[in-house]
């Protein structure tokens, strides 16, 4: 080895059991916490109101990498000025736009362990005991969803990945059963262009996205009408299934939604299970939003029938209050995981199975994967199911109270007077002209965000523009929402007056 290749000491750059590594990490962690605290002390609104074109220059200036590096304190100081003031404050009670929750403090503590220990969940020799903790966490979830002893699952990045896995297994299981065709080895069968998936017209966009990624195309997704409560119509499902079969097409899966993004609507799970089993179709339940009902004391009954699904998606970075990202995919019969199994000699050799060595890569479409199960485990141990239930059920009660308040005012139109979960969809009215009301509500949404007074959602239904509260935060009060509604009415008055002047 040449003299110039002498190893440099990098001990202060990595976490290890030496004094230098421990001190360096403690100093870095304390500096990060102090940076957050200094920002929070000045925090007044859920958002600064700055738009992308106003932030570009500041963000671009951050990217001045120096060959010799620079102190962490200097980098954190720059982030404190350019990034932190312009983040979305998801913890703010008036941040109520999306299925995007404030994270629990026990979960944040777990995140420190996850990042420092840096376990990779694909093979046992990269994760050790973490693999067993995840396996036990998955089995706890299976029991809560009342799946049987043959059930299994894996942690995922969220509903997008989980829904994809559900349809992947559904497609491959159908091809194997119908045509004795192994998709994993031989690719799509000649009949693939006749495969069809049924879901409600309000199902998540990832159903179409998954169909596209699975080589079936978006046209493989058949949208079923919904009833007045935005739930899948059993009548239209039966009608469209019959039409597909009569046309020589092959429906192979029904995707039921347990909590639609806009309305929180829950499809009739028991009846859909009946229909799926009668027709030999795979039933996948997208419970990314509504899966938290397993911990509810007041609305657990709404999950009746979910135990009959072939697979389930559930997200923990929504109503379980976990940091992004954290989700799970559950399957009623673990044998279906063989449809996506691969063995690599260096990673998960087949002989390890005979020795009882757990390699979780066999159940996932990911290889390298974080130990996200730990944060859910820590949260459940610290809070207990009762506290989770209190938080979740409060948000349902808050949504009901908010809906009642909105419906009592002639200034608003409420689209879902009886919220199934905690989403409230409404719009402000200024005239009898729908186009004018659309312009008004778009203006209100933009102005609330632009001034940073509130972060709420904007959506469309029946061709009209609506506003939406997504009330995941258990710290949000009715008073907070009163403030937002009051501000909405003030903006509506300003808008109406300005329109009169310009006319």
Check pLDDT > 50 for residue 177. Answer: yes
CA atoms within 13 A on the CB side of 267: 36
- Dist CA 369 CA 258 (whole Å): 26
Residue 232's alpha-carbon distances to 164, 244, 268, in angstroms, are: 20, 17, 7
CATH dotted code for 380-501: 3.90.1150.10
Q: Per-residue b/e over 205-217, b at no fewer than 16 CB within 10 Å?
A: ebbbbbbeebebe
What does the DSSP 8-state code read for residue 266? B
Q: Where in the chain is the domain with CATH 1.20.1650?
A: 1-86
Q: Where in the chain is the domain with CATH 3.90.1150.10?
A: 380-501
What's the pLDDT score for residue 43?
76
Work out the average pLDDT over 4-22. 89
Architecture of domain 119-370: 3-Layer(aba) Sandwich (3.40)
Instruction: For residue 381, give both structure tokens.
Output: 């141990």
Work out the average pLDDT over 394-406. 98
| 240 contacts: CB under 8 Å, gap ≥ 6 | 198, 222, 224
> If you average pLDDT over every residue of the chain, what do you get?
95
* pLDDT-based confidence at residue 6 (cuts at 50, 70, 90): confident
* pLDDT-based confidence at residue 33 (cuts at 50, 70, 90): very high
Residue 425's alpha-carbon distances to 52, 366, 469, in angstroms, are: 27, 36, 7
H or E element at residue 253: strand 250-257
CATH dotted code for 1-86: 1.20.1650
Residue 262's alpha-carbon distances to 82, 201, 299, 451, 481, in angstroms, are: 33, 12, 19, 24, 18
H or E element at residue 96: strand 95-96
Q: Where in the chain is the domain with CATH 3.40.640.10?
A: 119-370
Check pLDDT > 90 for residue 421. Answer: yes
Tens digit of each residue's pLDDT (9 = 90 or more) over 345-374: 777 777 777 788 889 999 999 999 999 999
- Among 57-66, 236-245, 318-327, 336-345, the minimum mean pLDDT is found in 336-345
Check pLDDT > 90 for residue 502. Answer: no
Work out the average pLDDT over 317-321. 98
H or E element at residue 169: helix 159-179
- Among 23-32, 239-248, 481-490, 491-500, the minimum mean pLDDT is found in 491-500
Check pLDDT > 50 for residue 419. Answer: yes
Check pLDDT > 50 for residue 501. Answer: no
Tens digit of each residue's pLDDT (9 = 90 or more) over 435-447: 999 999 999 999 9
Tens digit of each residue's pLDDT (9 = 90 or more) over 92-129: 999 999 999 999 999 999 999 999 999 999 999 999 99
Tens digit of each residue's pLDDT (9 = 90 or more) over 188-230: 999 999 999 999 999 999 999 999 999 999 999 999 999 999 9
Tens digit of each residue's pLDDT (9 = 90 or more) over 476-486: 999 999 999 99
């Amino acid at each position: 080895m040449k003299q110039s290749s002498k190893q440099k000491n990098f001990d202060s750059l990595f976490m290890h059991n030496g004094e230098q590594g421990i001190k360096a990490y403690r100093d870095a962690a304390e500096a990060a916490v102090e940076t957050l605290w200094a920002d929070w002390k000045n925090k007044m609104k859920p958002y600064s109101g700055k738009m992308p074109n106003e932030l570009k220059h500041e963000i671009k200036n951050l990217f001045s990498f120096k060959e010799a590096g620079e102190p962490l304190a200097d980098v954190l100081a720059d982030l404190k000025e350019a990034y932190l003031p312009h983040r979305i404050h998801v913890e703010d009670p008036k941040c109520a736009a999306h299925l995007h929750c404030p994270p629990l403090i026990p979960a944040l503590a777990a995140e420190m362990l996850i990042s420092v220990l840096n376990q990779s969940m694909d093979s046992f020799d990269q994760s050790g005991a973490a693999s067993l903790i995840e396996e036990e966490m998955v089995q706890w979830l299976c029991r809560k969803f009342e799946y049987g002893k043959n059930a299994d699952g894996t942690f995922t990045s969220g509903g997008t990945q989980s829904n994809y896995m559900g349809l992947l297994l559904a497609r491959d299981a159908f091809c194997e059963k119908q045509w004795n065709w192994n998709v994993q080895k031989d690719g799509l069968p000649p009949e693939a262009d006749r495969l069809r998936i049924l879901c409600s017209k309000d199902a998540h966009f990832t159903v179409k996205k998954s169909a596209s990624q699975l080589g079936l195309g978006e046209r493989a997704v058949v949208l079923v009408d919904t009833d007045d409560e935005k739930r899948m119509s059993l009548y239209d499902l039966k009608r469209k299934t019959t039409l597909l079969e009569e046309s020589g097409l092959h429906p192979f899966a029904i995707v039921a939604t347990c909590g639609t993004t806009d309305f929180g609507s829950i499809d009739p799970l028991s009846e859909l299970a009946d229909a799926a089993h009668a027709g030999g179709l795979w039933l996948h339940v997208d419970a990314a939003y509504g899966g938290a009902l397993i911990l509810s004391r007041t609305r657990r009954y709404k999950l009746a029938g979910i135990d009959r699904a072939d697979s389930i998606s559930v997200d923990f970075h929504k109503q379980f209050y976990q940091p992004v990202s954290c989700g799970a995919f559950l399957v009623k019969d673990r044998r279906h995981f063989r449809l996506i199994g691969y063995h690599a000699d260096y990673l998960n050799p087949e002989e390890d199975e005979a020795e009882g060595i757990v390699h979780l890569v066999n159940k996932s479409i990911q290889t390298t994967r974080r130990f996200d199960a730990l944060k859910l485990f820590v949260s459940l141990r610290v809070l207990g199911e009762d506290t989770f239930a209190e938080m979740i059920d409060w948000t349902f009660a808050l949504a009901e109270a908010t809906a009642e308040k909105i419906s009592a005012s002639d200034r608003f139109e409420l689209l879902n007077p009886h919220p199934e979960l905690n989403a409230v969809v409404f719009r402000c009215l200024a005239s009898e002209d729908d186009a004018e009301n659309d312009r008004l509500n778009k203006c209100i949404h933009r102005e609330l965000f632009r001034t940073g007074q509130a972060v709420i959602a904007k959506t469309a239904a029946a061709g009209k523009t609506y506003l939406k509260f997504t009330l995941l935060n258990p710290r949000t009060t009715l008073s907070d929402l009163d403030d937002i509604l009051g501000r909405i009415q003030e903006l509506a008055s300003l808008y109406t007056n300005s329109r009169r002047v310009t006319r």
